[in-house]
Structure 1
Amino acid sequence: MNEAALLNVFEAAHQLALKYQRPVVAVSSRPAPTLDPLMLYEAHRQGVFWCSHSPDLTLFGLGCAWQIEAAGSQRLAEVNRQWSMLCADAVIDGPRPPLLLGGMRFDARQPCAPHWAAFADASFHLARWLLSEDGDGRWLRCQCVLEPGSDPVELAHASVSAYQQLFVPSHSAESVPQVIERNALPASQWQAKVANALQAIDSGDLSKVVLARHIEYQLEASIDSGAVMRRLHERRNQSHLFALHRGDSCFMGATPERLLSCQEGRLTTHALAGSARRAPTPEEDQKVGTGLLADPKELHEHQLVVQTIVQGLSGIVSELQAATRPELLRLATVQHLSTPISARLEEGRSLLDGIQALHPTPAVGGLPGATAMSFIRRHEGFDRGWYAAPVGWLDSRGNGDFLVALRSALITPEHCHLFAGCGIVDGSRPEDEYEETQIKLASMENALRLSFN
């Protein structure tokens, strides 16, 4: 990347920052056919990594040129406000716009556990260097924010120095740490929570509530997040991958669920609820899948999610369409019912308005929403942090993509926290729901290579 070319872009942004007396974002993008996002993440184990499908997009970002942190119930509105202001006069050199990536806590009202302290209510980073790979090839972006008091020469020089660090990997040979201790609520105690939920459903207080489990591993050494991501990538099937670093903590996962995507004003999502195991042979697997598509309890749970997504979006979109029947989404260890949904954003509305309208969906919270959230706060017994919450990216043109952070783990020095949950509805059996969480935990446990002696 040429320092003189960067300086021209930064100086143009600095002039606008002086004129308007506020920060202005600058981005310069160039083709980078020889750089590989996964290899770079594997080497550095820092920044952000993202790999989604339909459409395919892989991102690796290193360094933080700017960040937004916001708290409380209006956190997404504040992120939207700051990002819109920053991008109002963006200086864009090349075909790629500025792109921001981050996420938020599942429940801003829940007290924050110490292991989630590095992850704010909402936190989004503008990577200094961002490598992307999509249908148009690989592109490298340099992103920078110019303040009225910034020195463009100094920032251009610092950016080139950071670029050179891309090729100085900190990777060493992976050693899989042994588990010193595994802490989890005993099966009988968690199943008792499910029984409590079924009583609330029987009494008419709830029609559905999602209860999750938290497994904590104490380790003899830190886990290599790059090696874990490589293994997740090799077996990703229909999952989307993400890794978000904050300090020496990393939140990563392989989730089947997209919350909401926006491309040129067109929103796409899918309702995902109703699960069954994968079977060892194609014939058995087909039988399990056919049974799932005909299971009244699973279809009822799924239809509740479809209805709530449609109702949530109805006030901010037009041309809303949902498939009349669910299809199967098959992953490595589990298969789900999935219904595609699409719509067009109304004028003046943003992707983050859609996220605000949908989160938490009944697939991760329950119905009625407020009652289910209250039940979770009282009975679940741990802080979900960013688990089951939206993580994603948005660019200066209003495009973006957000996932629901399921099948995920929080990696901290010498600890690892895993999460999995399931929807409790009328007809649920506590022992079956526990087994479902075991199946969901398996994909991350395998990728993390956690072994307990």
Structure 2
Amino acid sequence: MKLAVTAPDRLSVRTVPVPDPGDLIARLPHPAALAWIRHGEGIVGWGEAARLTLPGGTDRFAAAEHHLRELFAAAAVDDPIALPGTGPVAFGSFGFDPKSPDSTLIIPRRILGRRNGTAWLTTIGGDTDPHTHTNPPHTPAHLQWTDGALPEHAWKNTVAAAVHRIRQGHLGKVVLARDLNARADTPIDARTLLHRLATRFPGCYTFSCAGLVGATPELLIRRTGEHIESLVLAGTTARGTGPADDHARAQHLFTSAKDREEHRYAADMVRDALTPLCADLTIPTEPELLTLPNLTHLASPVRGHLDTDRSVLDVVAALHPTPAVCGTPTDIAMDLIRELEGMDRGRYAGPVGWVDARGDGEWGIALRCAEIDGTRARLFAGCGIVADSDPDAELAEARTKFRAMQYALHG
């Protein structure tokens, strides 16, 4: 499949300041929503001025960057605000596997944003927009649940098989994912899921792009000029039943040799990937605890400055896939995922986010998410497997990770 570009010869872009729009998600007029929200700030979009559909291949990030650069360079842009996310913006999500063709970037006709007290509206193209009339969101009803590629007992066997490979010395870590299917009586509205996720998980990055909806805790990369930030997450426990249990679980996670090993693989890879791109890079010597409403993670915040003018997509290309979603060594872990999971992940665990014409942007890893297609939703959860992993414990962790999207669908 070749790269497909649907776009006019020249984009006409105008950004204007607007009064505070309040809840950004509530302003989305149609279920075909584009969104990137955290703590109520960010950007949402609707309509479609241009779309890039990318084939598989290790060069898909470079191809996306090249074609977006051409579109943005040819655009007539009136942007007096000039903040990250103003002017033309492409929302995107990439397939996890380089062999996957499931990568899409969309430049919407309307982009509404808010950052640090400044709000704006960007209009791309003429006034004709099929999604300007508000279509109120609706709630999924009468959900039916079925197993995905593997039922629970079979998935535990794949975990055991992966542990055996690791103990034989073939690799250090592999991330194995499960999927779960839901079906509703009526088409599932992304805006309902976004609202529930943003309300319950305000500290996560709530996203929607081409039917992929979720709330990820993991910031793969943020680029603001020469400054970059990332957040490495690996090592997870469920929240406790009360304060004492919660504290005990968090301390056990923090001192767990198994979880520390899993986190070290991820942090070391991010360091190795970013160091050649940066004039300076700061990564803590040991992780901290990141507490979410349903989970606690080991986390390492990363900060640095790029040594040359690189787009955020250039940095995404250097980072994906991280050991937090694939394993290490990367090539061996990827081959084992293809062998054992029994499914195509699609865009689950791939990069998701946005990029503007300056090369600024924010990209996360598509975790705690679902692929929405009409009345159907396909949910995903993954677990990092190392030599000390226990199949029953990993299955319990996957069940916990499913709950964010199960809540989004159920309410």
State the TM-score, normalized to the length of structure 1.
0.83
2:92 — aligned with what?
102
Partner residue of 2:364 out of 403, 415, 421: 403
Q: Is the CA contact 2:18–2:119 (under 8 Å) kept in the aligned structure 1?
A: yes
After TM superposition, which residue ranges in structure 1, 4 or more long, deviate above 4 angstroms?
Answer: none
Q: Is the CA contact 1:24–1:90 (under 8 Å) kept in the aligned structure 2?
A: yes
Q: Tell me which moved more, 433-442 or 327-336.
A: 327-336
Q: Give the counterpart letter for 1:62 in structure 2.
A: W
Matches within 5 A, 1:128-147: 128-144=109-125
SS at match of 2:48: strand
Q: Is the CA contact 1:210–1:365 (under 8 Å) kept in the aligned structure 2?
A: yes
Q: Tell me which moved more, 95-104 or 383-392.
A: 95-104
Q: What CA deviation, in whole Å up to 9, does each residue of 1:170-202 have, x standing for no partner?
A: 126x34321345124322211100000011001
Structure 2 residue 186 is matched with structure 1 residue 221 = yes
Instruction: Tell me, in whole angstroms, the C-alpha distance in 1 between the residues paired with 2:328 and 2:20.
Output: 49
How far 1:69 moved relative to its partner?
A: 2.4
Partner residue of 1:423 out of 384, 403, 408: 384
2:318 — aligned with what?
357
Matches within 5 A, 1:299-448: 299-448=260-409
Q: 1:278 to 1:349 in 2, by over 3 A?
A: same
Q: Is the CA contact 1:274–1:337 (under 8 Å) kept in the aligned structure 2?
A: yes
How far 1:292 moved relative to its partner?
A: 1.1
Instruction: Tell me, in whole angstroms, the C-alpha distance in 2 between the residues paired with 1:223 and 1:121.
Output: 20
Matches within 5 A, 1:94-243: 94-95=80-81, 96-110=86-100, 120-144=101-125, 159-162=126-129, 165-166=131-132, 168-171=133-136, 174-184=138-148, 185-243=150-208
Partner residue of 1:32 out of 7, 10, 18: 18
Q: What residue ranges of structure 1 are gaps of 5+ in the alignment?
A: 1-21, 111-119, 145-158
Q: Is the CA contact 1:222–1:415 (under 8 Å) kept in the aligned structure 2?
A: yes
Q: What CA deviation, in whole Å up to 9, does each residue of 1:75-120 have, x standing for no partner?
A: 111111112222335433222322111111011325xxxxxxxxx5
Instruction: Tell me, in whole angstroms, the C-alpha distance in 2 between the residues paired with 1:273 and 1:206.
Output: 17
Q: Give the counterpart letter for 2:37 in structure 1.
A: C
Instruction: Tell me, in whole angstroms, the C-alpha distance in 1 between the residues paired with 2:284 and 2:145.
Output: 46
Q: 1:187 to 1:89 in 2, by over 3 A?
A: closer
Structure 2 residue 77 is matched with structure 1 residue 92 = yes
Instruction: Tell me, in whole angstroms, the C-alpha distance in 2 between the residues paired with 1:384 and 1:395.
Output: 27
1:449 — aligned with what?
410
Matched residue count: 396
How far 1:398 moved relative to its partner?
A: 1.6
Q: Give the counterpart letter for 1:216 in structure 2.
A: N
Q: Is the CA contact 2:140–2:185 (under 8 Å) kept in the aligned structure 1?
A: no
Q: Is the CA contact 2:172–2:327 (under 8 Å) kept in the aligned structure 1?
A: yes
How far 1:231 moved relative to its partner?
A: 1.2
Higher helix share: 1
How far 1:220 moved relative to its partner?
A: 2.7
Q: 1:82 to 1:176 in 2, by over 3 A?
A: closer
SS at match of 2:129: helix
Q: Give the counterpart letter for 1:75 in structure 2.
A: R
How far 1:227 moved relative to its partner?
A: 1.7
Instruction: Tell me, in whole angstroms, the C-alpha distance in 2 between the residues paired with 1:97 and 1:139.
Output: 10
Q: Is the CA contact 2:140–2:188 (under 8 Å) kept in the aligned structure 1?
A: yes
Q: CA RMSD in A?
A: 1.9
Q: Give the counterpart letter for 1:83 in structure 2.
A: L
Q: Give the counterpart letter for 1:39 in structure 2.
A: A
1:64 — aligned with what?
48
SS at match of 1:315: helix
Q: Is the CA contact 1:181–1:219 (under 8 Å) kept in the aligned structure 2?
A: no
SS at match of 1:355: helix
Q: State which structure, 1 or 2, has the greater radius of gyration over its C-alpha atoms.
A: 1
How far 1:394 moved relative to its partner?
A: 0.8
1:148 — aligned with what?
none
SS at match of 2:106: strand
Q: Give the counterpart letter for 1:73 in structure 2.
A: T
What percentage of aligned pairs have identical amino acids? 33
Q: What CA deviation, in whole Å up to 9, does each residue of 1:11-42 have, x standing for no partner?
A: xxxxxxxxxxx94433211122253421122x
